Amino acid sequence: MEQTTIPVCMAPDPDTRTPKFKAPAKATDAHCHIFGPGDRYPYAPDRSYTPPDAPLGRFKELQKTLGLERAVLVNASCHGNDNTVVLDAIAQSGGQYRGVANVDDSFTDKDFEALHEGGIRGVRFNFVRHLGGTPDMDAFHRIVDRIKEFGWHVVLHFDAADVVDFNDLLYGLPVPFIVDHMGRVPTGDGLQQEPFRLLLELARYESCWVKVCGAERISTDGPPFTDAVPFARALIEVARDRILWGTDWPHPNIKKHMPNDGDLVDLIPLIAPDEDTQRKILVENPARLYGFND
């Protein structure tokens, strides 16, 4: 009965093509997920969607095809606050993966210490409507205060309107923060839309990082999603040292155009034409934020 009431996501493209762009050594996919397999890593009973299994073995194949070596695994809401799937993947990565966890007020100091030892370097909060909307803000502030001592950051999954509604809050956060997917601003609303203008200004703030991923989520035109390129380039122009990139594989909750990850990689030289900027975004910035060792 439960499975009929929870939406099931589209599966990722099974035929990832080898991109034309050759990523530099130690390039990092700074936003990706591992889902299941569900019989080993059960999905949360109160989840808002059910993903197709996208296990670690498949992700390793993807990285090989794309020419990427490192990864930041973001524990998605479908796994609830059980971070085991991410911790197990990090443990098997030989130091090449880090993670972002889901937590709540029930986590003890020992729980946070164990997450840190396991390679977790941040926590994520979903604000987007289809994943439940604004979280309990009192709990949000308590958790942000608790992660300060670990040197962690907070990852914010916003809808475009949230960039406006929570703009003042962000400037007061006591830890670094990342805005996912370019703030999910729809490209069809143009570069001058209020959420993007505020995001550009926010990106100048030294505690703010932005992921120039999710082109398939913000695109109005559809594949190959090049209408997202001017948005990414504008963000890179103002905050090159605090920009990250990722695939968002396996692209949960895509409703229309499931991207081929090879196509997404080939957007990189369009958003960052010179090799120095490519290395900043793919290697140096994630290494600095997540503590990857050379």
Separation between Cα atoms, residue 264 and residue 203, nearest integer Å: 23
Question: Does residue 130 contact residue 110 with C-beta atoms inside 8 Å?
Answer: no
Question: Does residue 264 contact residue 60 with C-beta atoms inside 8 Å?
Answer: no
First to last CA, the chain: 49
* 138: annotated active-site residue: no
Radius of gyration of the chain (CA): 18
Exactly one of 29, 159, 162, 248 is catalytic; name it. Answer: 248
Find the angle CA(16)-CA(18)-CA(23) to the nearest 5 degrees. Answer: 120
Where are the strands (E) in the chain, listed by range? 28-32, 70-74, 97-101, 120-126, 153-157, 177-179, 208-211, 243-244
The residue behind tokens 């990689």 is 265
Question: Does residue 229 contact residue 188 with C-beta atoms inside 8 Å?
Answer: no
Catalytic residues: 248
